[in-house]
Amino acid sequence: MKKKTVSGVIKDLQRILIDEKAIEKRIREMAAEISAECTGKVVTVVALMDGSLFFVADLLRRIDLPIKLVTLCASSYHGTKSTGKLTVNWPANISFKDETVLLLDDILDTGLTLSEIRAHIESHQPAWLRCGVLLSKRRERAREVTSEYIGFEIEDEFVVGYGMDYNGRFRNLPCIGVLQLDSAD
């Protein structure tokens, strides 16, 4: 692997799609919207790791409410493609009964991840359940699912940065960009 700095990696992106400032601004807006809608509640946030790590860390620090955080590891991607199969590490004694639940993921793509996890949480009879994603791809979904909070709509292309990876790399880029696949070494 060639030695590179983060700014060197950013220069090698095909294109920066959303810069750090725009992400920060949009997350503040989303946090204000969620805080207003859930006033007076304790919010159970279910965050899908690893992709939503940075989004969740920044969003939650701006939500002006008490929060209980549950993290789940969910994966369905291999390289730049969805495998169509989802694996989730559900903890044994999980319960969402009568809770105010906010399910967060980095990106809505085929819809498989959010639809399966949303349905599972719904089966635990929460009092309130909404989804939030930083990005939503404009494409046909394999599974219908609603995300009530969306940071940005993007075209159907593979993105990295701000938590999102390509084979485990690029998560620590402060911006979101499109990868030049031949420079991903």
Name the residues that contact Mg ion, by CB under 5 A. Answer: 51
What whole-number distance in Å separates Cα of residue 127 and Cα of residue 123? 11
Task: State the alpha helices, DSSP H only, in 49-181.
Answer: 53-60, 112-122
Least distance from C-beta 109 to ligand 5GP, angstroms?
Answer: 3
Positive or negative torsion for Cα 168, 63, 120, 140: negative
The footprint of ligand 5GP on residues 21-50 (CB under 6 A) is 48
Binding mask 111-130 for ligand 5GP (x = CB under 6 A): xxx-----------------
159 within 8 A of 137, measured Cβ to Cβ? no
Of 109, 165, 182, 185, which one is the catalytic site residue? 109
Residues 30/151, Cβ–Cβ less than 8 Å: yes
DSSP state, residue 146: -
**Known active-site residue 109:** yes
List 159, 173, 175, 176, residue binding ligand 5GP (CB under 6 A): 159
Which stretches of the chain bind ligand 5GP, using CB under 6 A? 48, 51, 76-77, 82, 105-113, 158-160, 164-165
Residues identified as active-site:
109
